[in-house]
A = this chain, B = another copy of it.
């Protein structure tokens, strides 16, 4: 979580300094939710389809920081080799599918991965998880994917981070239901609500849902309420977010809450946290420095191959 925040702060400065082309999308304010999910999953076994604001979840799941910096900075040594950027990275063979931009589209992909695992005899035991935003719940792909997973009774955990906005669009232009958790019943799956700014609540609720999926309980939906604490991307100042909302219950910073919860609950001392913060700051620095030194793609030697198949011509 901390690492993610620090990494993202760094990405933001790199973007503002013109070192990153394209866009930078941050998960500020969503770290508690995302990290709780990533931490509840087991790398090498489970599947985590991270979305746009899941740096914290990725880190918690075990994605190395360098994957992030390499992808943002376009290093050819990164998992996407400069072919795709930023949050679109992944390592599908390590349980980390690489998102396409089209919202909602990853839900059925994770379902398919789980479906395959079942055919291979690996279920129950494995969990597949993905996050979506409030806006993504309006997509047909989300609906089809969740419904299919429910019908197939797959161990899919869907975390909906209702951060009150989809880009600039507030939830009243997105849906009319009282609470998105009401959708769960319509899919015939359990739904849970959680305050996304409350780290301990997130770990508990999400951790339990993951456990239920793991034990054969079928798909689980968690709806976390919170507020996006940045613009949609770093090009956006988010000036449309009303001050009242920022001052409201979801406006608090989950990282601060988590730090307090850690110390108050005696999970860690203030000193330990500070030391940890220094350590992660170093790690981030190193990951950025390393990626910056690495080669970027060379169009002249690049392979332009959209297919893995090579068609040989007869002589």
Which of A's residues lie within 8 Å of B, judged by CB? 138-144, 147-148, 150-151, 153, 172-178, 180, 182-189, 218
- Contact residues of A: prevailing secondary structure: helix
With A185-B185, A185-B186 as contacts: A151 and B139 at CB distance below 8 Å = no
Which residues of the partner chain B approach A148 to less than 8 Å between Cβ atoms? 138
Pairwise interchain contact A174-B151, C-beta atoms closer than 8 A: yes
- From residue A213, how far is it (CB to closest CB) to chain B in Å? 14
Pairwise interchain contact B153-A147, C-beta atoms closer than 8 A: no
Copy count, this protein chain: 2
- From residue A188, how far is it (CB to closest CB) to chain B in Å? 4
- From residue A190, how far is it (CB to closest CB) to chain B in Å? 11
Residue among A139, A142, A185 facing the most chain B CB atoms (10 A cut-off) = A185
- From residue A110, how far is it (CB to closest CB) to chain B in Å? 17
Pairwise interchain contact A144-B151, C-beta atoms closer than 8 A: no
Rounded to whole angstroms, the CA-CA distance of A37 and B89 in the bound complex is 50
Pairwise interchain contact B141-A147, C-beta atoms closer than 8 A: no
- From residue A149, how far is it (CB to closest CB) to chain B in Å? 9
Rounded to whole angstroms, the CA-CA distance of A176 and B183 in the bound complex is 13
Contact of A140 among B139, B151, B180, B186 (CB under 8 A): B139
- From residue A139, how far is it (CB to closest CB) to chain B in Å? 7
With A143-B143, A186-B185 as contacts: A150 and B176 at CB distance below 8 Å = yes
Pairwise interchain contact A177-B173, C-beta atoms closer than 8 A: no
Which residues of the partner chain B approach A176 to less than 8 Å between Cβ atoms? 147, 150-151, 153, 187-189, 218
- From residue A154, how far is it (CB to closest CB) to chain B in Å? 10
With A182-B185, A183-B186, A186-B182 as contacts: A150 and B138 at CB distance below 8 Å = no
With A185-B182, A186-B185, A188-B176 as contacts: A144 and B140 at CB distance below 8 Å = yes
Contact of A186 among B150, B153, B174, B186 (CB under 8 A): B186
Supply 19 A–B pairs (Cβ within 8 Å), ascending by A.
A138-B147, A139-B140, A139-B144, A140-B144, A143-B144, A147-B175, A147-B176, A150-B175, A150-B176, A151-B172, A151-B173, A151-B174, A151-B175, A175-B187, A176-B187, A177-B187, A177-B188, A183-B186, A186-B186
CB closest chain-B residue, reference A180: B186
Which residues of the partner chain B approach A150 to less than 8 Å between Cβ atoms? 175-177
- From residue A192, how far is it (CB to closest CB) to chain B in Å? 15
Rounded to whole angstroms, the CA-CA distance of A183 and B182 in the bound complex is 8
Rounded to whole angstroms, the CA-CA distance of A184 and B183 in the bound complex is 9
Beyond A151-B173, A151-B175, 16 additional contacts (C-beta under 8 Å) are A138-B144, A139-B140, A140-B141, A140-B144, A142-B143, A151-B172, A153-B176, A176-B187, A176-B218, A177-B186, A177-B188, A180-B186, A182-B188, A184-B186, A185-B186, A186-B186
- From residue A308, how far is it (CB to closest CB) to chain B in Å? 30
